[in-house]
Structure 1
Amino acid sequence: MTSSPKVENMFSVEGRVALITVAYHDSGGGAGGLGALMAEGLVANGARVYLVGRKEDTLKVEVSRLDKISPGKARHFAMDITVEEDVDKLVKFIEQYEDSLDFLVNNAGLSIFGPPASYLDPLDKLQANLKEPPLETWKACLATNSWAPYTLTVSFLHLLARAAQKGGRGSVLFITASGTQSWNPNLKFSGYISTRVGAEHIARILAAKLTPHRIRVNVVVPGIFPSIATRPDDPQGLAYPNTVSHIVPFKRAGFPEELIGTIIYLASAASGYMTGERIAVDGGFGLISNGTNKFLPDGAL
């Protein structure tokens, strides 16, 4: 029987092994995006982190930055998470260095939005705009946002299960989006949100199936955080002060530490009795996103 963690060590990630897939909008490699925030928080608190993304040059830059925080705690692997052969190569790469995996963060995502399609539009315009996203767009979003996190999680089950035997480890996160629980009729429609919905359902299915093995699977929904994709100095960006103050009840973007704190909690023994849950770190944005707020920009969800 697994013993309970000591109170003073409940939030420790010291010595734990994490793998983070990097979102496509993170410059193709992570620098300055949410994946970078998560990696920085974990490395700074003693974890070893493997960063996975498409562009090796950008990944190397990110690993160099992490090395300045804690030398030797970060490695990278360049791959396409939508290619099954690449997933197999990643597993073999990790197995060269680790016999277990404590924390898997399915953070990578592909967002492609179609043209605006408000419920207030004339029917002919609404129909034309809703039809515009081609099948290839749907396929690309499905592969990245639903299939890839499912396949990565399943491919690492043997390493996650070994970690879970140690108690409080073997944790999986699916990073999704606020729009998965929104049907605001003013917003653009795309396969992006639908495939993020699919990811959340997959996470709960896996959470249920993996309970006998004590592998935990949860969903985290980040709100608006300053990053390379949402720069506060970009008037068209969601983190722009005038915009974020209108669409987030807390009237500000999130602080990096507020996201990092949630990630560390879910990587640590403190969350060892939690699985199948959806946690929004969004300043209350999800609570109002179904309203017809005229200040809500197209694509905000």
Structure 2
Amino acid sequence: VASELQVVGWIEQIGSTSGRLDAAFNNAGITGPAKRIEDYPLEDFQRVIAVNLQSVFLGMKYQIPLIKRNGGGSIVNTASIAALTGPGGMSAYAASKHGVQGLTRVVAMENAAHGIRVNAIAPGWTETPMVAANSQQNPAFAALAQNAIPAKRGGKPEEIAAAAIWLASDAASYVTGHMLTVDGGMTIGGFEP
């Protein structure tokens, strides 16, 4: 997803096969190592930015012309609650997800008049293989995250997918430039009485 040639190839294949693109979901991500900024290897930082942010840029860059050809559509990008917070040891991940939010808003502004809605979802703790691996790498973050969820459970991948489907659907026809937080209340920041 970080390769321009691969992204161009996929979009060209969609265009030649169906002649249109109505909705796209840019959903790829890696966490990278859990290290303080002064110990964070540049190569790891660049890889996280490439997979998490550059891929969204490339996706939208090549999806937009095909969506425009059909008179409009929808793009949903996966950010993270890390676009709202600053999880220690995750500088590249947080930077990439803040970037996804920024790209989403810019591209939404540029394309609203063309009938293209661009939104993002910000999943919280979701029970995926990536989150399980990150929990082993950064147990302090895992413990804090699990204790901070008012819903008292992690999200299911299908719950995140349902939010993306809603944003891509006509039911969200007047929603653009928005980042929908899907986190079981994790970013509320309060506590029970």
Which TM-score band applies after superposition, normalised by the shorter structure?
Answer: 0.7 to 0.9
AA paired with 1:226? E
| Residue segments in structure 1 that go unaligned for 5+ positions in a row | 1-80, 116-128, 292-301
The count of corresponding residues between Structure 1 and Structure 2 is 187
Name segments (4+ residues, structure 1) moved above 6 Å.
none
User: Shift of residue 256 of structure 1?
Assistant: 4.6
Aligned-residue CA RMSD in angstroms? 2.7
Partner residue of 1:209? Answer: 110
Q: Distance in 2 between matches of 1:91 and 1:264?
A: 20
- In structure 2, the residue matched to 1:105 is 25
Alpha-carbon separation, structure 2, partners of 1:137 and 1:155: 26
Say yes or no: does 1:191 pair with 2:98.
no
Does the 8 Å CA contact 1:244/1:252 hold for their aligned counterparts? no
Question: Which of residues 150, 173, 178 is equivalent to 1:277?
Answer: 178
After superposition, where does 1:108-257 map in structure 2 within 5 Å? 108-115=28-35, 129-163=36-70, 165=71, 170-183=73-86, 187-230=88-131, 236=136, 246-257=147-158
Q: Which one has the bigger helix percentage?
A: 2
- Report deviation, 1:245: 5.1
Letter in 2 for 1:148: S
Contact 1:218 1:276 in 2 (8 A): yes
Kept in 1, the 8 Å contact 2:30–2:130? The answer is: no
CA contact (8 A) 2:81 2:187 kept: yes
State the SS of the aligned residue for 2:33.
coil
Report whether the alignment pairs 1:87 with 2:7: yes
Higher relative contact order, structure no. (Cα contacts within 8 Å, ≥ 6 residues apart): 2
What displacement does 1:159 show?
1.9
Tell me, what secondary structure is at the counterpart of 1:156?
Answer: helix
Please say if residues 113 and 192 of structure 1, whose CA atoms lie closer than 8 Å, have aligned partners that are also in contact: no
Q: Distance in 1 between matches of 2:186 and 2:58?
A: 30
Unaligned runs of 5+ in 2: none
Instruction: Return the TM-score normalized by structure 1.
Output: 0.56
